[in-house]
Amino acid sequence: MGRDDDDEVPEPPPLRRLRLLVSLLTAVLILGVVVVSATLVIRLTQPAPAVPATAKITAPSLTLPEGHAVAGLGQGAGTVVVITRAPGGAETLRVFDAATGAPVSATPVRRAPASGGGDDAPGG
């Protein structure tokens, strides 16, 4: 009734499937690490994309109305955009030519009242 150590017990089929799945998972994990590593190497060794050059502002000056303060400044293609705030709080979007400084347009900025009156309304 004794067992010889030389006799091997056959491997049950569920254990064989489990061993195959673990091997497959290991291969997929190794492949994933290789792909992520290769992607990092490729992305980090590429030169940074060139930033598009903006047009130079060559205007000698920009003339704003008396008492208006600059609230924001930006630049477009051949233009300079200035947001001004009047002493009364009214804001105006002013566009100037970048080469000459001549005013192109002035648009009043009107803020829409907050709808709903919930907790996110200012001043509440």
pLDDT for residue 65 is more than 80: yes
Q: How confident is the model at residue 31 (pLDDT cuts 50, 70, 90)?
A: very high
Assigned domain for 52 exists: no
pLDDT at position 52 is 67
pLDDT at 39 over 80: yes
Q: Beta partners for 75?
A: 80
Q: What is the four-CA torsion angle of 69, 75, 76, 79, rounded to 10 degrees?
A: 60
Residue 104 is assigned to a structural domain of this protein: yes
Say if 116 falls within a structural domain. no
Decide if 6 is inside a domain.
no
54, part of any domain: no
Mean pLDDT of 41-49: 90
Please check whether residue 91 lies inside any domain of the structure.
yes
- Residue 81: predicted pLDDT: 92
What domain range is 34 assigned to? 11-46
**Count of helix runs (H) and strand runs (E) in the chain:** 1, 4
Both 105 and 73 in one domain: the answer is yes
Report field, pTM of the whole predicted structure over 0.75: no
For residue 24, being part of any structural domain is answered with yes
Average pLDDT, the chain: 85
Residue 90 lies inside a defined structural domain of this protein: yes
Q: How many distinct structural domains can be found in the chain? A: 2
